[in-house]
Structure 1
Amino acid sequence: MIIGSFEGSRRAAAALLLAALGSFASPAAASAFRISPIAVDVMPDKGAGELRLHNVDTKPVAVRATALRWTQADGRDRTEPTRDLVISPPIFTVAPGAQQLIRIGFRNRTPGAAYRLVFEEIPGPKTPGTGIKVALKLNLPLYVVASRDAAPALTWAARRGPDGTLVVEGRNSGALQSQILAIEARDATGRVVGRTKAMGVVLPSSSRTWTLGGRAGTPSELVVRTAGGETHVAVRVAP
């Protein structure tokens, strides 16, 4: 096992937008809307969060909004339906070039909790000759910030998987999420012996794992990149 630790920046940057509209070749078609911000931090002195959906298409778009509770178990992200949040409005139509204000309140507010907000286009009736209708679906994070001075506190451990690949685990004992942009494992000469650019978030009081892929070489440090900078964590691999 390898172990190291570092303190994250005071505030994690806006979380990753996990689902977005891809490029579809004709005859497929999809509405176009965008949402800002792409991550919602509800501070302790705020009773609700809010965001705006902008319809940048030339046609009206109908949207359904739902919420999922977001947790981490066994190093992986988990989501499940929840009634903790109240999204207003939950279903709406936005005219071309217009925008819709969406507010997110609470039935049950838990400091440090995390959620995924899912905005899904409701397809209209198919018109002959228009081809395939593709529904746009966006998935954004919402964080209930525990306190103004909340910060992540990460420790790192690693192991070899059954196939010999290097698996690292980030464990967050702090009260704020930490967004990871990339991780490298380097040996004593500075040579990269494992790497991943798979971005992810370590939630408060939770852990998440990444597979770095390297089989050869002995890591002596992890280089963890976040939106706030780069941290070097000394590590030791048990035989």
Structure 2
Amino acid sequence: MRLPFRLLTAIAATAMAAATPAPAVRAATPLLIWPIDPVITADRGGAMLWLENRGKTPAMLQIRVYRWTQADGQDQYEEQREVSASPPVVEIPGGQRQVIRLSRQGDQRAPGESAYRIIIDEVPTRATPANPSPEGTAAGAVAVQFQMRYSLPLFTYGAGTDPASVAAASPRAAALLRCELADGPQGKALRLRNIGPVHARVVDLSLTTPAGAASLGAGLVGYVLPGAALTRPLPKGATGREPLSMAGRQGERITIAGCAPE
């Protein structure tokens, strides 16, 4: 079953809470999560994910794992039984941490790379006060409880396929992107298609124009799964034939050839 909801990152939710006027707002539980990009390699049956409650009150969290695909530039999430999270629901006291075990089920492992999304939802608990402290709050003010949703990528690998082995065979194979020039809703657009065997992580994407570097996205622009594509509007004054560049995992710049017509 495909899931129609949009995933909100912790950063986006926090920014929204800070920018939305409200008489009184109780912040969501500060949660530290690591690693932020867990993997299950071909020689292992699982991985560990750590959650740490940096707040003072208990945090109730629900952890689910969905199969992740991409179609027409959009993320799709489906229920699956290949990877499970244990425990699926956990209450973490303030200042404490909890390990979540991500386990691959069964002995049959699909070849190549499989992509999943780990969704961590904060669930309101009775330990959360219904109203904030009256200090600094006007009489009759309404308290707003914000629930956080965290979304993390998870990649699993079959025998002979993992980012390290693929990168060793070809330095470009781990992020093999081909640029195409396509028609977008607002005119010409750049489309980066992943023709490699594993996902590409696109960070600090820019296009070299006659006027200088034109940013197509700062920070983590997104992930492009094998066979999928990432689309960005063509900057004003650019033809699409100019080279692109993005940051590699070690901070180096990776150059991508200019776009070819669709």
The interval holding the TM-score normalised by the smaller chain is: 0.7 to 0.9
Change over 3 Å in CA distance of 1:76–1:226 after alignment to 2: farther
Query: Could you tell me which residue of structure 2 aligns to residue 129 of structure 1?
Result: 131
Query: Could you tell me which residue of structure 2 aligns to residue 180 of structure 1?
Result: 202
Q: Partners in 2 of 1:42 and 1:93 — Cα distance? A: 25
Residue pairs, 1:5-24, within 5 angstroms: 19-21=9-11, 22-23=14-15, 24=17
Other structure's SS at 1:149 match = helix
- Which segments of 5 or more consecutive residues in structure 1 lack a partner in the other structure? 1-16
- Which segments of 5 or more consecutive residues in structure 2 lack a partner in the other structure? 1-6, 133-142, 168-173
Shift of 1:105: 0.7
Shift of 1:186: 3.2
Q: Does 1:143 align with 2:145?
A: no
Query: Could you tell me which residue of structure 1 aligns to residue 120 of structure 2?
Result: 119
| Percent of aligned pairs with the same amino acid | 23
Retained in 2: the 8 A contact 1:165–1:215? Answer: no
Name which of structure 1's ranges 224-233 and 192-201 shifts more when overlaid on structure 2: 192-201
Q: Does 1:166 align with 2:193?
A: no
- Between Structure 1 and Structure 2, which shows a larger proportion of helix residues? 2
Retained in 2: the 8 A contact 1:193–1:219? Answer: no
Q: Deviations over 1:126-185 (max 9, x none)?
A: 6443322211211111111333402423322222325323232222322x2221013333
Q: Partners in 1 of 2:101 and 2:236 — Cα distance? A: 48
Q: Deviations over 1:12-65 (max 9, x none)?
A: xxxxx9711515457222212111111101111111011110011101111110
Q: Partners in 1 of 2:261 and 2:199 — Cα distance? A: 29
Name which of structure 1's ranges 66-75 and 56-65 shifts more when overlaid on structure 2: 66-75
Query: Could you tell me which residue of structure 2 aligns to residue 195 of structure 1?
Result: 216
Other structure's SS at 1:82 match = coil
Shift of 1:82: 1.8
Change over 3 Å in CA distance of 1:192–1:32 after alignment to 2: closer
Aligned length: 220
- Larger relative contact order (Cα-Cα within 8 Å, sequence gap ≥ 6): 1
Matched to 1:200, the amino acid is: G
Other structure's SS at 2:24 match = coil
Retained in 2: the 8 A contact 1:185–1:220? Answer: no
Query: Could you tell me which residue of structure 2 aligns to residue 37 of structure 1?
Result: 35
Quick one: which of 99, 107, 121 aligns to 2:97?
A: 99
Q: Partners in 2 of 1:219 and 1:50 — Cα distance? A: 42
Retained in 2: the 8 A contact 1:193–1:217? Answer: no
Q: Normalised by the size of structure 2, how large is the TM-score?
A: 0.73
Other structure's SS at 2:243 match = strand
Matched to 1:102, the amino acid is: I
Query: Could you tell me which residue of structure 2 aligns to residue 28 of structure 1?
Result: 25
Q: Partners in 2 of 1:142 and 1:157 — Cα distance? A: 28
Q: Does 1:154 align with 2:196?
A: no
Q: Partners in 1 of 2:9 and 2:129 — Cα distance? A: 27
Query: Could you tell me which residue of structure 2 aligns to residue 235 of structure 1?
Result: 258
Query: Could you tell me which residue of structure 2 aligns to residue 210 of structure 1?
Result: 231
Retained in 1: the 8 A contact 2:180–2:260? Answer: no
Residue pairs, 1:218-229, within 5 angstroms: 218-228=239-249, 229=252
Q: Partners in 2 of 1:62 and 1:157 — Cα distance? A: 45
Matched to 2:166, the amino acid is: A
Q: Partners in 1 of 2:93 and 2:259 — Cα distance? A: 58
Q: Does 1:86 align with 2:87?
A: no
Retained in 2: the 8 A contact 1:180–1:201? Answer: yes
User: Could you say what the CA RMSD is over the residues aligned between the two structures, in angstroms?
Assistant: 2.7
